[in-house]
Copies of this chain bind each other. A is one copy, B any other.
Amino acid sequence: MARAATTSDAFNAIAEPRRRDILMLLRDGERAVAELAEDLEMTQPQTSKHLRVLREVGLVQVRGAGKQRLYGLDAEGLRPVHEWTGGFEQFWNGSFDRLDAYVQRLAQYPSTTDRGDTDD
């Protein structure tokens, strides 16, 4: 009855722009919380919370470094998202054209054409 938990998977985790920003920053290497907070102009608790979500879905890792805790990227979790969206690649890279669409439509609605009801 409510929205899906953002902590459930990578899809939900990266739905939040702030978290995407964090991940992008981490591409350049590990970062301490305070640094991330400063770069992204967020408060420290805010940053910590986002990092927690990212950690729970396995997109980042932490390691203690003195008083600091350095967060590092664990991008493997983004792979499913990349692959899922990749399953639609044919629809935007040109290998999919109107003929494909026509054939697909026939597969589902063969009667549509019988009634001369196609839109083109």
Contacts and interface: CB of A to CB of B under 8 A. Distances in A.
B107 A88 contact: no
Interface size class of A (residues with CB under 8 A): 35 or more
Given A23-B88, A73-B91, A112 B65 contact: yes
Interface in A5-29: 6, 11-12, 14-17, 20, 23-24, 27-29
A63 B104 contact: no
Contacts of A105: 29-30
Interface of A: 3-4, 6, 11-12, 14-17, 20, 23-24, 27-31, 63, 65-66, 70, 72-73, 75-76, 78-79, 81-82, 84-89, 91-92, 101, 104-109, 112, 117, 119
